[in-house]
């Protein structure tokens, strides 16, 4: 009984820790939704609400799907902190009047050894912590300069024998000004959805009323998890092209954003492109941290993202369709860097 109660107590503590630590400022959970998805957008500091016409854009701004002219798929893997795996898959299907998109996101801990107060070296059992989202998107042209898009996604969080489920919407738009290097501006609202709450077998058990086995039976109890919000955010973006030669150009990316669990932040990125064959990108996920490298956690408002770098090569010239091999690296203020690997292909 004590072992069982210890496990329940530890599970409850883990839930509280994840809800608060993931939230950054203790106001939102499900923080896997705030991790940079894909590869190319991560290489420019996450300032990617206006990006290349590929399936990956569905993560950043559903309106960007309307620029995709061919069926394509994107898959990526990230080596996240402490051996956690972060997986993404996206699909874009142009349909004449608009573009349909699908995507999946998963954050997987792998096996974690269960320990208790009585057995700090392990009980012999293992559990896992997994977060996931599945979404469907649609984008269309409202005018020849204005694209809009919307995403609906189902969310799930699991910790051993407890889980939480919810839903969310993303809404975005892109306006192509046609000025100053085909400058475009965008806005995106992400993760507008319901509050979530953990429940399940792991929060239930039996409590003995007395140590006398001949008296009252054990009483069943159920712990109630508090509701928590998901990381609702709003972003304004800008992208502008600088033509270098007939084959080369620079793309400047800028994004100002605000989230319910972090203070306002600025993201900057720069991408060099050589036709549709190569690209190299660099950026920073938090301008405040960039100009004040000694700022602490509170000074940067919980946003610990830092420098990013990445690139991709299109092997499509060897095939009949585009096939991008991509890599990006993201530095972090306190932990080690994150490597991302991706494949984008048309079909």
In terms of DSSP bridges, do strands 126-127 and 85-94 run parallel, antiparallel, or are they unpaired? unpaired
Any alpha helices (H) in 52-207, and if so which ranges? 57-60
The owner of tokens 């998109």 is 101
Q: pTM score, two decimals?
A: 0.84
Residues 209-224: pLDDT tens digits? 766 666 667 778 888 8
Residues 108-151: pLDDT tens digits? 998 888 888 888 888 888 889 999 999 999 999 999 999 999 99
Residues 253-276: pLDDT tens digits? 999 998 888 778 899 999 999 999
Nearest-Å Rg of the Cα atoms of the chain is 23
**317 has a pLDDT exceeding 50:** yes
- Structural domains in the chain, CATH included, are 2-346 (2.40.160.40)
Cα–Cα nearest to 167, from 124, 196, 145: 196
Give the three-state DSSP class for 40: helix
Are 49 and 139 in contact by the 8 Å Cβ rule? The answer is no
Q: Which residues contact 111 (CB under 8 A, 6 or more apart)?
A: 126, 127, 128
Are 34 and 257 in contact by the 8 Å Cβ rule? The answer is no
- Phi and psi at residue 318, in whole multiples of 5°? -95, -5
Any alpha helices (H) in 245-285, and if so which ranges? none
Residue 212: the pLDDT is 64
Burial state string for 75-87 with b = 16 or more CB within 10 A and e = fewer than 16? bbbbebeeebebb
Are 319 and 307 in contact by the 8 Å Cβ rule? The answer is no
* pLDDT over 90 percentage in the chain: 62
């Amino acid at each position: 009984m004590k072992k069982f109660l210890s496990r329940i107590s530890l599970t409850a503590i883990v839930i509280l820790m994840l809800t608060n630590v993931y939230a950054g400022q203790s106001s939102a959970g499900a923080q896997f939704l705030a991790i940079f998805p894909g590869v190319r957008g991560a290489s420019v500091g996450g300032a990617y609400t206006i990006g290349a016409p590929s399936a990956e854009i569905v993560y950043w701004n559903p309106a960007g799907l309307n620029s995709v002219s061919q069926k394509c798929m994107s898959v990526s893997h990230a080596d996240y902190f402490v051996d956690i795996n972060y997986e993404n898959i996206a699909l874009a299907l142009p349909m004449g009047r608009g573009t349909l998109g699908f995507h999946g996101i998963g954050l997987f801990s792998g096996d974690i050894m269960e320990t208790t107060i009585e057995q700090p070296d392990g009980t012999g059992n293992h559990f896992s912590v997994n977060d996931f989202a599945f979404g469907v998107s649609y984008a269309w042209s409202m005018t020849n300069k204005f694209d809009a898009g919307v995403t609906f996604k189902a969310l799930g969080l699991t910790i051993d024998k407890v889980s939480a489920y919810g839903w969310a919407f993303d809404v975005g738009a892109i306006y192509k000004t046609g000025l100053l290097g085909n400058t475009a501006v965008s806005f995106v609202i992400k993760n507008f959805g319901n509050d979530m709450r953990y429940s399940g077998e792991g929060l239930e058990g039996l409590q003995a009323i007395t140590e006398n086995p001949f008296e009252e039976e054990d009483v069943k109890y159920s712990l109630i998890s508090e509701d928590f919000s998901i990381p609702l955010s709003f972003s304004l973006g800008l992208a502008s092209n600088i033509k270098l030669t007939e084959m080369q150009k620079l793309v400047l990316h800028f994004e100002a954003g605000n989230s319910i669990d972090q203070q306002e932040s600025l993201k900057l990125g720069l991408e060099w492109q050589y036709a549709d064959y190569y690209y190299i990108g660099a950026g920073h996920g938090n301008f405040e941290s960039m100009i004040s490298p000694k700022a602490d956690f509170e000074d940067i408002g919980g946003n610990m993202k830092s420098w990013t770098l990445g690139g991709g090569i299109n092997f499509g010239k060897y095939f009949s369709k585009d096939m991008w091999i991509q890599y990006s690296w993201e530095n972090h203020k306190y932990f080690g860097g994150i490597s991302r690997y991706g494949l984008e292909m048309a079909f």
